[in-house]
Structure 1
Amino acid sequence: MIDFTFLTPAKIIFGQNKIEDLPKEITFLGNKAMIITGRTALRKSGFLEKIEEYLRKKSIDYILFEKVEPEPSVETIDEGIVIGRKESINCVVGIGGGSALDVAKAIAGMIPQEINSVREHVGKSLVNKGLPFIAIPTTAGTGSEVTKNSVIIDRKRDVKESILRDSSLIANTIIVDPLLTISMPPKITASSGMDALTQAIECYVSKTTNIFSNLLALNSIHIIGKNLELAYKDGKNIAIREQMAFGSLLSALAFSNGGLGAVHGLAHPIGYLYKISHGIICALLLPHVMKFNKSVKPEEFAKIGETLNPTLKNSSKELKIDGGISFIRDLLLKLNLPTTLSELGVEMNKIDDIIDRTGGSSIEKNPRGINKQLLKDLLLNAL
């Protein structure tokens, strides 16, 4: 029996120069927009100037909020809520990587709520419907343009977590324009691409995945596995950037409905404690978690192996499984990414603290049951 529920943005716009559709899409949803982005990257790339030109030409009323930091905080969201209410905005546009999109999502959701701080809403469903939200990713990796949650740092509670999770936070419209990813430096290309690949692989073997998510995840694994190294080496190649943007979109649609696993469960506390890029941690942990999980989903891991390396098609199941793990290990070296936690400064005496902060739905959805001792063994192997 085929049985699943699948949540997606109402409209997905994909293609080169589709950013030019933004003014029209804003008019469908509101008449005064808040454009939310990071502090430097979009402006430095020259794209923010172009976007503002498109908006002015179509007489779109908007305000800019360029205050999103790499690890966004409760305070940033609260500031955006105050400004958005004061300016009476009725549509939010997030442009950037996962941080900018998560902040935009949270501000859009919180402005109509009767609260003073997003901290008052942790773990609760939205009472009032959030503002219309348009998400425009500038990286090929995080998947935040599709998801219903907002990952934020709350220093007061000393955590990095999905501070909001509600289906009404899903974007009304997403615009994926591969040209916006051209300016990504190789290191960001590598880390965001590995984030997307990790999401697709974890989704494919998750306890909560479904037939539709798996179709998307497997295609994502194929596309990203084939193109990530090429994008890293030749970032100006728009055909390759287009493939990476499409592969990332498929990954996001897949995992946002099918779930993740232990890699993502561990990545948030490690990233928070050591101020390390989420994608880099995911990349490093992925082969270790694949090895840990392979015994409970051998058919799926064999399929992943031959998808990443088609030369394994006629090999045994065991060779396909191990070949998939080897492919990931080799890819990390080709992308000049770290392969051990110790390279990132993680020390053995901090392992217990990481484990104490690890939990949530990603751990619960991991295909193989996992307890604190198994988590510790996994992290020690990754040191």
Structure 2
Amino acid sequence: MNYHMYLPTRTLFGAGELNNLNIQEMPGRKAMIVISNGNSARANGALGRTEEQLHLAGVETAVFDRVQANPFKDTVMEGAAFARENGCDFVVALGGGSVMDAAKIMAMMAPNPGDLWDYVAGATGKNKPLENRPLPVVCITTTAGTGSEVDAWGVVTNPDTHEKIGCGGMDSLFPVLAIVDPELMTTVPPEFTAYQGFDALFHSTECYISKAANPMSDIVALAAIEAVAKNLPSAVRNGEDLEARGQVAFGNTLSGYVMSLSCCTSEHSMEQAMSAFHQELPHGAGLIMLSRAYYGYFIEKHICGDRFIRMARAMGMETARRPEDFLAALAKLQEDCGVAELKMSDYGITREELGTLAENARATMGGLFAVDPCELSHEDCTAIYQKAYR
């Protein structure tokens, strides 16, 4: 019955909530607004609206617009330097998971000396303690995929070493404010709506079967699974469906809470190895490719079968009686969202590198293997990759 709970982020959730940013207490006087290196935040008006809201609150702004998907270490270091050079005393992330992850780690590095990998745990990271407290962070999420708006982590890639690692994790890196406004999500293309939605789903399914699961995380995880699974197909089919968008966004934010109450398992380690070597692979797409083989492994081992049954019921299969029903529900959801046929080979992944990916997953994100519901060996990981490979 033990659990630890610390979820300090003030969250404004609902359509139109961006309009209430200006009446919130601001954590500083000048904000670095972090956006992606694409044009969407400018084209859809989200950047202009955010700047207007901050200016109404008496905050000066400077825009850093260089974050790529699966953000690089060098980009994070550039953002940290930009914040220092422009005298910014807090950071506003405006975008999806990559932007929010990068922004949090920029906020961590802006007041601290050295290189990010001095502070990273895992693989070649030196795991030094921070010397100074991170800058405050405000997250305005424009996608529903990572739950990063309410957790204390950011995932960053070091392309020189092919290491994609979760960074941060300290209490001081929780965003002070999050705005989750489904109106900002209506322009996300269908395929990325699906990829992001499955990322949110798997955060919760992993945390539900994790050894770190507890009564509090279980409640939140099942609610998140239900919200995403029952509404994602509608959001994919019609991006303007605010009800569906809102439900998926709700499930996504819950998934951020779940990750702070429990812990993801090695599915995320295994996917991060894939996209560390293949930068163009969307994280959610990689998780989809792995998922049926990954969860099937535990079901074949007769591990936590009752939890798979409960997850299948949460996904809408009310008559679920066998753990295998979860795999059937998962396959149907992927078909309904048009992502059931994704292939690793389409992103340049070869069978010959699967053993290397298994080694990388354990070296960079080995901590997640420790909370798997049963032990996964190197050979087991390689076998899962092999079964998932197409």
Q: Distance in 2 between matches of 1:354 and 1:382?
A: 13
List structure 1 runs of 4+ shifted beyond 4 angstroms.
none
Checking the alignment, whether the CA contact within 8 Å between 1:217 and 1:254 is kept in structure 2 is yes
TM (norm. structure 2) is 0.92
Task: Determine whether 1:217 maps to 2:215.
Answer: no
Task: Determine whether 1:239 maps to 2:246.
Answer: no
Checking the alignment, whether the CA contact within 8 Å between 2:133 and 2:172 is kept in structure 1 is yes
Give the 5 Å matches for 1:51-62.
51-62=50-61
Q: In the alignment, residue 303 of structure 2 is paired with which amino acid?
A: V
Question: CA offsets, 1:79-111, max 9 Å, x none?
Answer: 122221122211111111111111110111122
Given candidates 358, 361, 373, the residue that maps to 1:367 is 373
Q: In the alignment, residue 80 of structure 1 is paired with which amino acid?
A: G
Question: CA offsets, 1:169-214, max 9 Å, x none?
Answer: 1111111111111111101100000000111111111011111111
Q: How far did 1:117 drift? A: 2.8
Given candidates 30, 43, 48, the residue that maps to 1:32 is 30
Given candidates 308, 311, 316, the residue that maps to 2:318 is 311
Task: Determine whether 1:281 maps to 2:286.
Answer: yes
Q: Distance in 2 between matches of 1:81 and 1:28?
A: 20
Q: In the alignment, residue 378 of structure 2 is paired with which amino acid?
A: K
Unaligned runs of 5+ in 2: 121-126
Q: Distance in 2 between matches of 1:292 and 1:89?
A: 48
Q: How far did 1:242 drift? A: 0.7
Checking the alignment, whether the CA contact within 8 Å between 1:125 and 1:165 is kept in structure 2 is no
Checking the alignment, whether the CA contact within 8 Å between 2:159 and 2:276 is kept in structure 1 is no
Checking the alignment, whether the CA contact within 8 Å between 2:230 and 2:315 is kept in structure 1 is yes
Residue 28 of structure 1 aligns to a residue whose secondary structure is coil
Instruction: Point out the more displaced range, 228-237 or 253-262.
Output: 253-262
Alpha carbon RMSD of aligned pairs, Å? 1.6
Q: Identity over aligned residues, as a percent?
A: 27
Q: How far did 1:10 drift? A: 3.1
Given candidates 130, 134, 139, the residue that maps to 1:135 is 139
Checking the alignment, whether the CA contact within 8 Å between 2:26 and 2:57 is kept in structure 1 is no
Q: How far did 1:58 drift? A: 4.0
Equivalent residue number for residue 266 of structure 1: 270
Q: How far did 1:296 drift? A: 1.2
Given candidates 330, 333, 340, the residue that maps to 1:328 is 330
Residue 301 of structure 1 aligns to a residue whose secondary structure is helix
Checking the alignment, whether the CA contact within 8 Å between 1:124 and 1:164 is kept in structure 2 is no
Instruction: Point out the more displaced range, 298-307 or 156-165.
Output: 156-165
Q: How far did 1:274 drift? A: 2.0
Instruction: Point out the more displaced range, 127-136 or 221-230.
Output: 127-136
Checking the alignment, whether the CA contact within 8 Å between 2:3 and 2:261 is kept in structure 1 is no
Equivalent residue number for residue 165 of structure 2: 161
Checking the alignment, whether the CA contact within 8 Å between 2:292 and 2:388 is kept in structure 1 is no
Q: In the alignment, residue 303 of structure 1 is paired with which amino acid?
A: R
Q: In the alignment, residue 345 of structure 1 is paired with which amino acid?
A: G
Q: How far did 1:311 drift? A: 3.4
Residue 357 of structure 1 aligns to a residue whose secondary structure is helix
Q: Distance in 1 between matches of 2:342 and 2:75?
A: 33
Q: How far did 1:374 drift? A: 0.8
Given candidates 168, 182, 187, the residue that maps to 2:191 is 187
Aligned length: 375
Q: Distance in 2 between matches of 1:58 and 1:219?
A: 35
Instruction: Point out the more displaced range, 97-106 or 37-46.
Output: 37-46
Q: Distance in 1 between matches of 2:56 and 2:293?
A: 51
Equivalent residue number for residue 150 of structure 2: 146
Equivalent residue number for residue 43 of structure 1: 42
Checking the alignment, whether the CA contact within 8 Å between 2:80 and 2:106 is kept in structure 1 is yes
Task: Determine whether 1:357 maps to 2:360.
Answer: yes
Q: Distance in 1 between matches of 2:42 and 2:8?
A: 27
Q: 1:141 to 1:328 in 2, by over 3 A?
A: same
Equivalent residue number for residue 308 of structure 2: 301
Equivalent residue number for residue 8 of structure 1: 7
TM (norm. structure 1) is 0.93
